[in-house]
Amino acid sequence: MALFLYGLALLVIVAGSILYWTRQRWISPLVATVQSATDRISDRLSSIRSPFSYTRLPSTFVGDAEAGLSSSTFDLAGNIEGSDGRAGLDDASKAAILKIMKKRRLPFDEARRVYMEQRFKDNGIGADGLPRDPKFVSFS
């Protein structure tokens, strides 16, 4: 019995050491997997919890700015000062960005960047802006 316990202790120490030394290789995929699983679970729970509650999206540039959908790099002040009569930003992307801002507690610029990276990934475009299609040919 003692031999088994010593062997088990040695195995745990060796496995822990290997995991510690190789953590740079496996920690980022693990974090991404856990984050996506958490997002999926929270989406399902929110739809089950109250299907009738919703947050009304702002419908003008003033409302967008008041909701936090403006920054120094994405400035809506010109549209507001010019009394722009358009409806504001796209409702689908506005809802997705507000959801990212609320869930991950990010400022507007970071949430917009995360949203665009997700859209690029969904459409087969890499982080560098090039298509991930293996048949893609570029003449640059």
Mean pLDDT of the 31-60 span: 72
- Is the residue at 105 inside a domain? yes
Q: Give me the mean pLDDT over the 91-105 stretch.
A: 85
What pLDDT is stored for residue 69 in this prediction? Answer: 75
Under DSSP, the state recorded for 60 is: S
Q: Residue 34 and residue 30: Cα distance in Å, rounded? A: 6
Q: How confident is the model at residue 102 (pLDDT cuts 50, 70, 90)?
A: confident
In a domain, 4, yes or no: no
d(CA 106, CA 39): 15
Rounded Cα distance between 67 and 69, Å, is 6
Residue 103 token pair: 């869930």
Assess if residue 65 is contained within a domain. Answer: yes
For residue 27, being part of any structural domain is answered with: no
Q: How many domains does the chain have?
A: 1
Predicted confidence (pLDDT) at residue 87 exceeds the cutoff of 60? no
Q: CA of 62: how far to CAs of 89, 90, 106, in Å?
A: 11, 14, 21
- pLDDT in the model for residue 26: 85
What global pTM score does this model have? Answer: 0.51
Q: Check residue 20 and give its pLDDT.
A: 92
Any domain includes 103? yes
Tell me the range of 28-32, 72-76, 114-118 where mean pLDDT is highest. 114-118
DSSP conformation letters of 39-54: HHHHHHHHHHH-TT--
Domain span at 75: 55-123
What the block records as the tokens of 77 is 């002040």
Two structure tokens written together for 54: 């919703």
Helices (H), the chain: 2-21, 23-49, 61-66, 77-81, 91-104, 108-122
Closest among 40, 16, 50, 52 to 103, alpha carbons compared: 40
